[in-house]
Chains A and B, each alone.
Chain A
Amino acid sequence: EPEVTQTPSHQVTQMGQEVILRCVPISNHLYFYWYRQILGQKVEFLVSFYNNEISEKSEIFDDQFSVERPDGSNFTLKIRSTKLEDSAMYFCASSDLAATSTDTQYFGPGTRLTVL
Chain B
Amino acid sequence: LAKTTQPISMDSYEGQEVNITCSHNNIATNDYITWYQQFPSQGPRFIIQGYKTKVTNEVASLFIPADRKSSTLSLPRVSLSDTAVYYCLVGDPFSSNTGKLIFGQGTTLQVKP
Contacts and interface: CB of A to CB of B under 8 A. Distances in A.
B102 to A, nearest CB: 7
Interface stretch (A12-20, A73-81, A106-114): A106-114
Interface string B78-113: 000000000101011111111111111110000000
Interface residues of A, number: 31
B30 to A, nearest CB: 11
Interface residues of B, number: 28
Nearest to B31: A102
A82 interface: no
B98 A56 contact: yes
Chain B interface mostly helix, strand, loop or mixed?
loop
A66 interface: no
Contact of A42 (B91, B92, B106): B106
Contact of B102 (A45, A55, A95, A100): A45
Contact of B100 (A42, A45, A107): A45
Nearest to B90: A102
A43 B38 contact: yes
A68 interface: no
Q: Of residues B49, B95, B100, B106, which shows the largest number of chain A Cβ atoms within 10 Å of its Cβ? A: B100
Contact of B93 (A35, A103, A108, A112): A103
Given A42-B103, A43-B38, A102-B91, A50 B98 contact: yes
B42 interface: yes
Contact of B89 (A4, A102, A109): A102
Interface of B: 32, 34, 38, 41-46, 49, 87, 89, 91-106
